[in-house]
Chain A
Amino acid sequence: MRNRKSRFLTQFLTRKDKMAYSMSVAEAKAFLRKVREDQIRCSKKIVDIWEEVLVKNSFSLGEEVWLVYEQVCLAALDCAQLDIAEGCYQALKAQFPNSLRVRKLEGMILEAEEEYDRAMAIYEDILEKDETNAIATKRIIAILKAQNKIQDAVEKLNKYLKEHSLDTEAWLELCDMYLHELDYNKAAFCIEECILSNPHNHLYHQKLGEIKYSQCEYQEARSYFAHAAKLNPNNMRALFGLHLSATNLVSSQKGTQKTENARHAAWAAKQIKDRYKTQLGKNRSGDVKIVEDMLEALKMSSS
């Protein structure tokens, strides 16, 4: 068993070497900058590029090096490579000994080591110096979440949102916490807040549709899904949701409402089928058949 295992590993390690990034320093710099600006979470790649391309050329980064240190530090924490995170943090601390932004990294390293009390003390200290520091508050909420103290996290996040009611990221987080607690009404309220500040984002309408559907409120679900599909006709969750909620309404309704909803369901079914057919093509007709069977099965269950 042991021998076999080591054989797998050698095979993989040789292949892994071939995967190494053959990037120039300029390309690596440009890549990291793009990821930083677009806020893409691809931590493993960031750490690999740092180690393979940039670490020996860090002098060529100029003033940008500090931003890269911070970026790599966070990415390394994501990958549980604490030695790299620590190295970046030390470099930043030497350069900016009084920076709260650097202090936060120290807290996050402690979090990764599950030293929650010490991390908490650092964030509280940051808040003492700068009481509006949103990131420190969010880290404290993250610690409560990691410790499975969801009620405390909910309370803290609600308090934060009283002062930062336009922070949609925070509303979404609170929504997920309420969903975790199966409190669908409060979760719906959080998404409504997001819709108020971004009325044209199809994802919020879709998510509210999903929440309403989970509460068996099909009428409301249908209208949110329909709105999401109108804002983005390629949102598959919205099309499926529209189909499901209309189909459910058909089975409980009579008269004109019933025919109306049957029409909505048929329309959504056609949209879904068309998208699968054009995007999957002839080679995957088996997969298209699965979707057609599924739509048929849902139709049967409603009639």
Chain B
Amino acid sequence: MPPDVSVSVIAYCKLVLHLSKYPHCAVNGVLLAKKPTKENRSLHFVDVIPLFHLALELTPMLEVAMTQIESYCSQQGLIIAGYYHAGAVIGDPSPTFIAKRIADKICENLSDGCLFMVNNNKLKQLEESEIYRIYCRHDGKWEIKDQKVTVEEDGMPIASALVDAQVYDQLVDFDNHLDNITLDWKNTFVQEHIERVVPQ
């Protein structure tokens, strides 16, 4: 049985903002989780690092990004446990060859790693449903995970509100970082935006 999955509000918002910043491109990124233990294998995704929007099929900058993110994760006690992928066109969101290959790589470190395939159609109704379908590895194949709700409470309306406010303009992915290394792919500003809208 694959473990339960939960996605924090901040992780969900960063994923949605990345898609909204580049609606005309295929985009991808990774999801970071707290290190699971032997007793509790459930995956709680606490953060997202947006990767690319220019060319998802080229490997050198992916290696650069992954190695940097790994060293960041080891500082923070996190682990790369998921990969998200959104195609450029609206349509069938079943896993592509590249998506599976990158997700396979993540599973080498963590066998419970997940693949999040984005359904572009759902971007129209951000408040109503989660925009991805989750796949888990089972006997060497990627199979749909049977879990409807993964995002923490209020994640969807908050993500939708951030998109309305065009917060995505400020989102930085790894392509942006490589164009200008002073731009920070950790996107800490998103947290501040969420805190501003969520009544504490």
A148 to B70, CA, bound (A): 35
Q: Are A180 and B57 in contact (CB under 8 A)?
A: yes
Known: A11-B197, A12-B161. A280 touches B127 (CB 8 A): no
A111 within 8 A of B: no
A236-B166 in contact given A210-B55, A221-B60, A244-B60 (Cβ < 8 Å): no
What are the residues of chain A within 8 A of B127 when measuring CB–CB?
Answer: 5
Chain B residues, CB < 8 A from A12: 161, 164-165, 197
Which residues of chain A come closer than 8 Å to B89, judged between CB atoms? Answer: 145-146, 148
Interface residues of B in 87-136 (CB under 8 A from A): 89, 91-92, 97-98, 127
Selected contact of A8 from candidates B64, B67, B70, B161, CB within 8 Å? B161
Say if the beta carbon of B157 comes within 8 Å of chain A: yes
Chain A residues in 8 Å Cβ range of B98: 182
Measured in the bound complex, the distance between the Cα atoms of B10 and A204 in whole Å is: 36
Chain A contacts of B59 at CB under 8 A?
A: 210, 213-214
Please measure, in the bound complex, the distance between the C-alpha atom of A165 and the C-alpha atom of B54, giving whole angstroms: 23
CB of A254 within 8 Å of the partner chain: no
Query: Which B residues are in CB contact (< 8 Å) with A286?
Result: 75
B149, CB-defined interface residue at 8 Å: no
CB distance from B9 to the nearest CB of A (A): 12
Stretch at the interface among B28-36, B40-48, B140-148, B178-186: B178-186
Segment from A100-108, A258-266, A291-299 that makes contact with B: A291-299
Most buried by A among B60, B64, B67, B164: B60
Asked if B199 is at the interface (CB within 8 A of a chain A CB), the reply is yes
Question: Cβ of A139 < 8 Å from any Cβ of B?
Answer: no
Q: Within 8 Å CB of B189, what residues of A? A: none
B151 at the interface (CB under 8 A from A): no
Is A290 at the interface (CB under 8 A from chain B)?
yes
Q: Any chain A CB within 8 A of the CB of B1? A: no
**In the assembled complex, A176 has its CB within 8 A of some CB on chain B:** yes
B contact residues around A66 at 8 Å (CB): none
A268-303 Cβ-contact flags toward B at 8 Å (1 or 0):
000000011001100010110011011001100000
A44 close to chain B: CB less than 8 A: yes
Q: B61 near A: Cβ within 8 Å?
A: yes
B residues within 8 A CB of A280?
Answer: 181-182
> How far is B157's CA from A275's CA once the two chains are assembled, in angstroms?
40
CB distance from A262 to the nearest CB of B (A): 19
A contact residues, range: 35 or more
Interface readout for A202-217 with B: 1 if CB under 8 Å, 0 if not? 0000010111011000
> Nearest residue in B to A78 (C-beta to C-beta)?
B24
A298–B67 touching, CB < 8 Å: yes
Contacts of B184 in A (CB 8 A): 284, 287
Nearest A-chain residue to B91, judged by Cβ = A148
Cα-based distance from A176 to B57 in the complex (angstroms)? 9
Task: Collect the chain B residues with CB atoms within 8 Å of residue A164's CB.
Answer: none
B63 touches A214 (CB 8 A): no
**Structural contact, B71 and A294, CB atoms closer than 8 A:** yes
A206 CB → nearest B CB, Å: 10
A237 CA / B62 CA spacing, docked (Å): 11
Please determine whether B57 and A182 come into contact, CB atoms closer than 8 angstroms: yes
Contact with B along A149-161 (1 / 0, CB 8 A): 0000000000000
Q: Are A5 and B157 in contact (CB under 8 A)?
A: yes
A162 contacts B by Cβ under 8 Å: no
For B157, the chain A residues whose CB sits under 8 A away are: 1, 4-5, 8
One digit per residue, 1 when the CB lies within 8 angstroms of any chain A CB and 0 when it does not, for chain B 163-184 equals 0111000000000001101101
Which chain A residues border B181 with CB–CB below 8 Å? 236, 275-276, 279-280
Distance in angstroms between the alpha carbons of A1 and B161 in the assembled complex: 14
Nearest CB in chain A to that of B169: its residue: A44
**Could you list 25 A-B pairs, sorted by A, with CB under 8 Å?**
A4-B157, A4-B199, A9-B161, A12-B165, A15-B165, A44-B166, A145-B89, A146-B89, A148-B89, A176-B55, A179-B55, A179-B57, A207-B58, A210-B60, A214-B59, A240-B61, A240-B64, A241-B61, A245-B60, A275-B181, A276-B181, A279-B182, A290-B75, A294-B71, A297-B70
List the interface of chain A (C-beta within 8 A of B): 1, 4-5, 7-9, 11-12, 15-16, 44, 78, 145-146, 148, 176, 179-180, 182, 207, 209-211, 213-214, 221, 236-237, 240-241, 244-245, 275-276, 279-280, 284, 286-287, 290-291, 293-294, 297-298
Q: Mark B residues whose CB is within 8 Å of A.
A: 24, 55, 57-61, 63-64, 67-68, 70-72, 75, 89, 91-92, 97-98, 127, 154, 157-158, 161, 164-166, 178-179, 181-182, 184, 196-197, 199
